Each structure stands twice: as C-alpha cells, then as structure tokens.
Chain A
Amino acid sequence: MKKINPITKRDLTITSRSMRFSWGLFAYEGILMLVFLIALSILGGAGYADSNAQRYSSFIALYPVVATAEICIVALIIPIITASSIAGEKERQTFDIMLTTRISPMQIVTGKILSAVVRVMTYVLASVPIMAIGFTIGGVSWLSLFFFLLLTLLLALFEGAIGVFCSSVCKKSITAIIMSYIVIFAYCMMGFVPLILGTVHFYMTTGTAGSLAEKAMTFLATVFLLPNPVFMFVEFFGSVITGDDFLAGELLEENLPGLSFLGKPAVWITIAAILILLFTFCFMKLSAYIINPLHHKNDK
C-alpha cells in the first residue's frame, strides 16, 4: 500500500485537533442550509407559480442555487487554506528544516494541496444530505450529484495549486491569500474577455455573423473559456437542468463548425477538466521549482 504523504498526514492530524475546523464545518453547513431554505421559500412561494405542478417543477432551480453557493464557499475557503500553507511554514520557521530532509519540493507541494483538498472535501461531503434534498426535490439524477462532487474536487485541486503557488512566492500568509484571490479572479475573468469583446464587436458591426473578426473572437473565446472552471460549471449546470449546452454550442455552431463537437456539454466539460488538471499540474511544478532553494542563485 502506498504511504500517505507525511505532510498531508501531519496537517490533517493538527487540523482534526483544532476547534477551528469543527466551527468551520458548522458555519459551512449553516450557510448552505440557510441558502437552501431561502431558495426553497422563494421557489415555493405563493406568487411564484400558478399551480402546484409548476411550483414543484420550479424546485429544479434549487439545485444550481445550492450548488453555486457550495462552489462559492469552496472557492473562498481553498485559497485561505492553501495560501497560508507554505507561507505559514516560513513564518513559523519550520520550512528550512523541512527542506533539509529527503522530502522533495514536489512532495511538499502535493502534500499541502492534498491536505487542503481533503479538508474542503470533508466540508463538501458533510453537505451531501443538504444537496441530496435539493436533488431529490429538484429531480436531478444521483449521477449528476456524483459529477458535481467530482468537478468540485477538480476546482479544489486547481484553486489549491494556485494557492500553494502564491504561498511559495510570498513570505507572509496574508500576502499569499490576497495574491491567490487576485490570481484566481483574474484567471476566471480572463476567460470571458474575448467573449465580451466579441459580443461588443458583434453589436457594433450590426451583427454580421460569420465575419473574419467574429470567427477570430469566437476562436479566442473558445480557447480562453475551455480551461475556465466558471464556464465549466455553467455548462455543467446548463446540461443538468436543460439537458443541453448553455452557450458553447451557440458559440461554435455558426463561426467554427469544425469545433462544433465541443458544443456537446459532455465533450466540453471533459476537455475543460483535462485542461484544468493540466494547469493544476503546471502550477504545482512551478511551486516546486520556486521552493527548491538550489534553483535560485541570487536568493537570500
């Protein structure tokens, strides 16, 4: 049996003993429950639907609401945990000792990401009963819940890798946390820039579909949106609720028919997941390179 990464094991031992983790779990479930109840009361409200059947079918909207709340919390928590991981070791002055041992920088990075992901996935798994109510009432399949958990895990890994990267660059935890929020926000928003520019261009040129400029913008939007976790979740929710794609198909159909296969949500999500994993690995390798003192000739 393969050994557990010692850094992950140590971090989890320490975490499990602290009250902060228990309070965090309590707060996480509390927020999610609150979101669920508010969404349920709005969707089940008297003025919202004409009949009980309509009211019941509108409960499917519970799913994206609760799931989005869950993703947002995960997206906010992961940078806090991971960005303070290596920077925290530096602040405690335990990092040097760690570097003199036989553990490799890549193992340190992996251990730090895994411990953060395990912690966050504990929160997520603990919220499955709340999610399950949403899925049961909302009429979404259990398979979708499984894929949702899988994509949340992917998001946690990706954000964790960015957090550890920022942590390896910065000396202070607080700087690393701020930096990781900026990097994650910039990365997610950057994906939408060509799409927004393309849309603006389309309206400014009175909508000449199929023009070279539009094709170029569509191509760029596709390239930028493919590894974008926000768009991946948008497509995922779109496919679960409507059974069809949200935007990808429309984006590609007219301008890039050669890439129209990407319009199918499953294809888009699979490629997006692979690319995000690839980016995760790149951030991990970069972090491992940065923390290896023997790579820096001019460092203090």
Chain B
Amino acid sequence: MLYIEHLYKNYGSFQAVKDLNLHIPKGDLFGFVGPNGAGKTTTIRIVCGLLRETSGEVVIGGARLRDEPDKVKSYIGYVPDFFGVYDNFKVSEYMEFYGSLYGISASESRKLTADLLELVNLSDKREAYVDSLSRGMKQRLCVARALLHDPMLLVLDEPSSGLDPGARIEMKELLMNLRSMGKTIIISSHILSELSEMCTSIGVMNQGNLVAVGRIEDILQAGENENVIILEIRKEIERAVAVIRQINDISVESVMENEIKIRFPGGDQQLNRLLIEILQQGVFIHGFHREQNNLETMFMQLTKGQEAES
C-alpha cells in the first residue's frame, strides 16, 4: 500500500527526516510514535502531498507521489491534529463542500454524508453548525470528511490530542471499526498505550530516523535483550545504589523508597550472576522482579539511546 524509500527532508542545514524506509501493507493499522520534533509530522505531510521531499520516493497504491500527485491524493484521506472550522457552516454543508472538492456530485455526496455521519455517530448533528460541536465530535467529523472519497489510506496526525478520555475511546473504537473494514491507517500519536491496543505495527521515529519498525510483538521481543530488573531493598538503599553502580554493565534507571530499577544486558544466567555479586557485596535483597516490556519502556529505550548518541 505505502512504500517510502530513502526519504530525506532538509530545512536548510537541518535534517528533519533522514533516509526513511518504510513499507506499510494493505489493511495495516500503523502507529507512528516519537518525541516532539522526531519527524513524524514531516513524514506524514510529505506522504499527504503537503510538503515536498528533499529526496527519496513515496509510492501509494502503486502511484508515485512525485509523478501522479492527483492520483495519490484520491487514495489518501488526511485528518490533521487541529480541526479548523468555518463559521456559519452546517455539518451537512461541510461534508458536501468537501465532497465537491473531490468531484463528488451533490446527490452522491448527500447519500455518503448520511452513511458516514452514521458511521462516526453524528447523524443527529447533521443540521448543527460545525463550530458548535465538541472537539471530539469535530475530530470524528473530520474522519468522516476524510472518508468521503473512499480512500485506500487514512492518515491521522495526533487525532486524540486534546480529547477527553471519553472522546478518545470513541475515536479508538472508530479506528478499530475502520480497520475491520479493511482500511489501511497510519496514525501518529503520543498516547502509546492507545497505540499498543489498536495498532498492528508501529514505527518509532527519533531525530529524523526510523529507529524501530515492525509488529509490536516483534519490537517488544527484540527489546528483551536488555533487561530491566526491579530490586526490592528495605535497608541502606544509598549504600546499595553505590555498590550496584560499581558493577560493570549495569545502569541504575531510577531509585524509589524501597526499590532500585536497574538495566543490564543478557539473559537469566547473567541475572543470577548479577544477583550473587550484589549479595556478596553485603546488600540484602528482599525480592526482585523483571519489569515487563511494554511500548512505553521500549519507546524510552529507543529514543533515549539516540539522544545519548547525539
């Protein structure tokens, strides 16, 4: 569905996107994650034809963006992070206006509007003015608008930003519903827990680089080479921290009242050796457990490593 090859975007001497290679298959719900300024929005804007790449290639549905921008536009539905509205414009008129921008006839547009408003649960707001809708409703309306021309690929840039929890759940359900309908969806978000629940695959961007990409399970599995262990220590925690810091290959992630979070490379054997070494130094360990890898911890690992390098 979407192929990005050797994509670069420079703003003067600043490289916003560096050699990005990405393939998103049809029917995938792809999550784009990364800290602010990582290059997610730049990439999304290039894919949607809102920015020109410095070099590289974007192919959507078999059409090259550079050669056939109009064809590519008909394949994409774009939902930006901010929903701008026109005053004195009704929901039905809003939909019909965008329908006309896609060359859809008024009668066809009216029919599609009814169906899409039902899909996004806004049928009762058909005659309401757009600026009177809540932010969550506006965002769902924007999704309905993006679906008017039945695009193959739906691109959502931070669709949940600024939404209350209820509206977020509704948005998530809507996206899951669209996914079950076979739509290919790219969603960029900072809400990692939400992405891990919905997405089939993710790409982690940091400082213009795609640092990890693939199925969520695969990425989490790959990250398990590095272990995060939480040690429960009830006495002399400062001394315990000092002792642990002296051991090679271990980094102390955080220190709580009775807990020390440490990171070390290796498997169970190394863990046994490590625990023995700590005990031999006279530190009494009341208990320990391995921190389960999730998207948040993976994200922190991947982006932290890059920041340290830079």
Chain A residues with a Cβ under 8 A of chain B: 3, 6, 9-10, 13-14, 17-18, 89, 92-94, 96-103, 293-300
Binding site for A on B (CB under 8 A): 10-12, 45, 48-52, 54, 66, 69-70, 73-74, 76, 78, 80, 82-89, 93, 97-98, 100-103, 142, 145, 149
A300's partner among B11, B84, B97 (CB-CB below 8 A) is B11
State in angstroms the CA–CA spacing of A92 and B83 once bound together. Answer: 8
The answer to whether A9 touches B100, judged by C-beta atoms less than 8 angstroms apart, is yes
CB nearest neighbor in A for B155: A100
The CA of A296 and the CA of B142, in the complex, are separated in Å by: 27
Closest A residue, CB atoms, query B142: A97
Cα–Cα distance between A101 and B48 once the two chains are bound (Å): 10
Which residues in B have their C-beta under 8 angstroms from that of A9? 97, 100
A275 to B276, alpha carbons, bound, how many Å?
91
- Since A100-B78, A102-B73, A295-B52 are in contact, a sample of 11 more A-B pairs with Cβ atoms closer than 8 Å, ordered by chain A residue number, is A3-B100, A6-B100, A14-B89, A92-B85, A96-B80, A97-B78, A100-B48, A100-B73, A297-B54, A298-B11, A300-B11
Nearest 10 pairs of A and B residues by beta carbon: A93-B84, A6-B100, A101-B101, A94-B84, A92-B84, A17-B88, A100-B78, A103-B101, A10-B97, A93-B82
- Alpha-carbon distance A99/B173, docked complex (angstroms): 28
Interchain residue pairs with CB less than 8 A apart (6)? A6-B100, A9-B97, A17-B88, A96-B50, A101-B98, A293-B52
Whether the pair A294, B86 counts as a contact (CB closer than 8 A) is no
Is the Cβ of B50 less than 8 Å from the Cβ of A100? yes
Q: Are B98 and A293 in contact (CB under 8 A)?
A: no
Residues of B within 8 A of A299 (CB): 51-52
Q: Contact between A294 and B49 (Cβ–Cβ < 8 Å)?
A: yes
Bound Cα distance A60, B85 (Å)? 50
B83 → chain A closest CB, angstroms: 8
Q: Give the shortest distance, in Å, between B212 (CB) and chain A (any CB).
A: 27
Q: CA of A14 to CA of B145 in the docked complex: distance in angstroms?
A: 19
Most-contacted residue by chain B among A89, A100, A293, A294 (CB, 10 A): A100
Q: How far in angstroms is the closest Cβ of chain A from B63?
A: 13
Residues of A within 8 A of B142 (CB): 97
Query: With A100-B50, A102-B74, A298-B11 in contact, is A6–B86 under 8 Å at CB?
Result: no
- Specify the chain B residue showing the minimal Cβ separation from A99: B50
Contact between A102 and B101, CB atoms less than 8 A apart: yes
Selected from A98, A99, A296, the residue in CB contact (under 8 A) with B52 is A296
* B82 and A102 contact, CB distance less than 8 A: no
A93: contacting residue among B48, B80, B87, B149, CB under 8 A: B80
**Complex interface: chain A residues within 8 A of B70 (CB):** 102
Question: Bound complex: CA of A10 vs CA of B145, how far in Å?
Answer: 16
Q: Is the CB of B85 within 8 A of A100?
A: no
B150 to chain A, nearest CB (A): 13
Inter-subunit contact A18/B86 (CB<8 Å) = no
Complex CA distance for A84 and B187, rounded to whole angstroms:
32
On whether the beta carbons of B82 and A14 are closer than 8 Å, the reply is no
Chain A nearest Cβ from B40, distance in angstroms: 15
- A97 contacts B52, C-beta separation under 8 Å: no
On whether the beta carbons of B52 and A100 are closer than 8 Å, the reply is no
Beta-carbon contact of A293 and B51 below 8 Å:
yes
B12 touching A298 by the CB < 8 A rule? yes
Cα–Cα, bound, A100→B48 (Å): 6
Q: Are B101 and A6 in contact (CB under 8 A)?
A: yes
User: Which residue of chain B has the shortest Cβ distance to A93 in the bound complex?
Assistant: B84
Q: How far is the CA of A3 from the CA of B84 in the complex (A)?
A: 26
- Give Cα distance in the complex from A89 to B101, angstroms: 15
How distant is A235 from chain B, measured CB to nearest CB, in Å? 42
With A92-B85, A92-B86: A6-B69 Cβ-Cβ less than 8 Å: no
Roughly how many angstroms separate A205 CA and B67 CA in the complex, as a whole number? 61
- Chain B: which residue is nearest A13 at the CB level? B93
Residue from B48, B50, B66 with most neighbouring chain A CB atoms (10 Å):
B50
Task: Find out whether the CB atom of B84 lies under 8 angstroms from the CB atom of A100.
Answer: no
Beyond A294-B49, A294-B69, A299-B51, whether A94 also contacts B86 by CB under 8 A is: yes
Tell me the smallest distance from the CB of B65 to a CB of chain A, in Å.
Answer: 8
Across the interface, do A101 and B11 meet the contact criterion of CB distance under 8 Å? no
Interchain CA distance A293-B42 in the complex, whole Å: 13
- Cα of A100 to Cα of B93 in the assembled complex, Å: 19
CA distance A100 to B73 in the complex (A): 6
- Closest A residue to B10 by beta carbon equals A298
Taking a contact as CB atoms closer than 8 A, the residue among B10, B69, B76, B86 that contacts A10 in the complex is B86
Name the A residues within 8 Å of B45 (CB-CB): 96
Tell whether, in the assembled complex, residue B49 and residue A99 are in contact, meaning their CB atoms are under 8 Å apart.
yes
A103→B149 CA distance, assembly (Å): 13
- Chain B residue at smallest Cβ distance from A300: B11
B257 to chain A minimum Cβ distance, whole angstroms, is 46
> Which of B48, B82, B86: most chain A CB closer than 10 A?
B86
Residues of B within 8 A of A100 (CB): 48-50, 73, 76, 78
Give the shortest distance, in Å, between A251 (CB) and chain B (any CB): 48
- Closest A residue by C-beta to B16: A300
Complex CA gap A18/B82 in Å reads 25
Q: Which residues of B have CB within 8 Å of A297?
A: 52, 54
A197 to chain B, nearest CB (A): 42
Whether A101 contacts B51 by the Cβ 8 Å rule is no
